[in-house]
Amino acid sequence: MGIRMDQVVNLNIMDEAKVITGHEHLNATTVEWVSVMEVPVENFVRKHEFVLTTGIGCADDPITFEKFVQDVIYSGASALTISTGRHILDVPERVIQLAEETGFILIDIPWKIRFSDVIQEVIDAINQENEWERLRAEELRQHLTDCVLSGGSLNDILGILHDQIKLPVAISDQRQIVRANYDFNTGMIDVLNNQTEGTIKKLEHPEVPFDEHPLYHHLDQYFVNDETCYELTIFSNDKKQGYLLFKPHQPEDLTWFTMNALEHGLTACALYFLTENAIETTEIRLKDNFILDLAKEKQELTTKILSKGELLGYELTKSYACIVGDFRTIDLQEHENDRSMQSSLHSLNYYVQKEIIHASQQLGRKTMSTFDDGEVIIFIETDDYAYQENVNHFLDMVERRLHEQLANLDFAWGVGFHRGSGNVFYESYQQARTALDIHTRQYGFGERTFFEETRVNRLLMMLTEDDQIVKQVHEILKPLVEYDQKRNADLIQTFMTYQKYKGNVSQTARALNLHRQSLLYRLRNIEKLTQLSLVDADDSFLLEFSVRLWMLNKFN
């Protein structure tokens, strides 16, 4: 904060002052403070300081005076005003030459002008300028805040900021999508976002005139293809939301006011993203609740529900198949009792949702999806009599892309499709949920199961409601189950494989990777434990029936 040197030399007290060197730098040189300094300088002069001197102690020693001026120049002072007529009669040529070579502002002022008057006017001008800049910055802050609260866009925010600082500025979100741009080189942004090739060098310490400004510690400076730009990270709710980019033409463009303006712009952007996230979260919650109601509540598709769906962007009059998916990763299993599980699951949901959207766009089919208790529920637009083909194509695309990103991810899918009218979404969900449950109970986690493929198992599940049937199955299979558990054997799986190949011993042995004699030994063991003959059609049917019931429910 401060004033320019041209403002200083135009003060009334400076009417008789003469600018000796540095005329071309008056408009670009900032003055933040004023002081009187005599030899030695040491470290008593700070950057952007307007220095006054009488040259006392140097009157008879031009070498010492030249060294004094040199020390003032190297200190970063804005200018040096020499009071001539008493100790220094005329400014030495060697001093003038030194100032010209370094582009330093040197001023001659008559002895009769009191330093106290100069100091007073300069300080008054600085204070007045600082107050004006403070009011200007406060007005900008209020303008930006009003813009966000009144529903303004990021383009509106950036337009207000650009009008004040007159620098190229841009905003990109965390996905590296440019959301607003005023005169900023898009090629530089593409290089920074690794979208095009180019050289990038990040400076360890940003080069700005005001390293004491609070914003300095949040600045990143880059050289992109030998051009410099600055980046500020936008945070809200402790989450990175995007970036505010700006490109000064020269370092002097980053005045104290510009830094304050950028700080207020950063705050406005953070407030905008916070508002945007709140709106998105509310919209997502509304959509999730709507889809869950469709899936889990028996309800006719009334005009009211159709209209609500249309407001949320859903066309409920189309035909939809329902997919219920469960997924597992090694990471989730390892942390199932850890607090990190929730964040891992949230991240996983993000990837799954992203690929659902991608697949639906590629296939040109509408989808509605949500997550509930760790499972994903998807309604996908489909053709009535080719829905299995449509679903398989969709899931192939989702799984392929997910496995490219998360190699340790496994899925289990249940699929249902209710034809006709009535509670179509509810019925489709119930079918998909049933298909997934039956497959998981009988074969464990994994694969895809269509509701039509579960007819036999659904019929068997109805029989498990009869206590007498359950008791009979328990008596038949108890010896077999206990033997498998005690000996770590797999007689039940051996029997089901044997049935699958219709009693063909050679095919069964190959499928189980067993020697023929080992398989025959297992089969004799099964007959001995169950007291049933595998060559008897009725006994074989009874044992398979019992095993299927047991695999569906795993009752004790």
What domains, with CATH codes, occur in the chain?
Answer: 3-127 (3.40.1390.20), 151-277 (3.30.450.40), 297-425+441-450 (3.30.70), 466-554 (1.10.10.2840)
Q: How many Å apart are CA 99 and CA 93, to the nearest integer?
A: 10
Q: Which residue has the tokens 């494989």?
A: 497
552 contacts 441 by C-beta, under 8 angstroms: yes
8 contacts 125 by C-beta, under 8 angstroms: yes
Q: How many Å apart are CA 214 and CA 511, to the nearest integer?
A: 72
Which SS3 state, helix, strand or coil, does residue 365 take?
A: coil
Indicate the pairing of strand 33-36 with strand 79-84: unpaired
Task: Starting at the earlier edge strand, list the strands of the sheet with 447-450.
Answer: 367-372, 375-381, 320-329, 409-416, 447-450
Measuring CA to CA, which residue among 73, 25, 31 is closest to residue 48? 31
Residue 40: cis peptide before it, omega within 30 degrees of 0: yes
Kindly state the greatest CA–CA separation across the chain: 131
Angle between helices 516-530 and 491-500 (to 10 degrees): 110
Distance of alpha carbon 340 from the chain centroid? 18
Distance of alpha carbon 425 from the chain centroid? 33
Instruction: Give the E-state strand segments of 356-408 in sequence order.
Output: 367-372, 375-381
229 contacts 247 by C-beta, under 8 angstroms: yes
71 contacts 41 by C-beta, under 8 angstroms: yes
Full pLDDT tens readout for the chain, 556 residues: 678 899 999 999 999 999 999 999 999 898 988 999 998 888 888 888 999 999 888 877 889 999 999 999 999 999 999 999 888 888 999 999 999 999 999 999 999 999 999 999 999 998 888 788 888 889 999 999 999 989 999 999 999 999 999 999 999 988 888 999 999 999 999 998 888 888 999 988 888 877 778 888 889 999 998 889 999 999 887 788 999 999 998 877 888 889 899 999 999 999 999 888 888 888 889 999 999 999 999 888 889 999 999 999 999 989 999 999 988 765 544 444 443 444 455 567 778 888 899 999 999 999 999 998 888 999 999 987 888 999 999 999 998 888 887 777 788 999 999 887 778 899 899 889 888 888 877 666 778 889 887 777 666 666 666 777 878 878 888 888 888 888 887 888 888 888 888 889 999 999 888 898 988 998 998 888 888 998 888 888 888 888 877 776 655 5
Q: Which residues neighbour 212 within 8 Å (Cβ) at sequence distance 6 or greater?
A: none
Task: Starting at the earlier edge strand, list the strands of the sheet with 169-173.
Answer: 178-182, 169-173, 239-246, 227-236, 219-224, 200-202
Measuring CA to CA, which residue among 290, 288, 295, 292 is closest to residue 423? 295
Altogether, the residues listed in the chain come to a count of: 556
Angle between helices 537-553 and 491-500 (to 10 degrees): 120
Residue 103 falls in which region: left (phi positive, over 0), alpha (psi -120 to 50) or beta: left
Q: Which residues neighbour 388 within 8 Å (Cβ) at sequence distance 6 or greater?
A: 415, 450
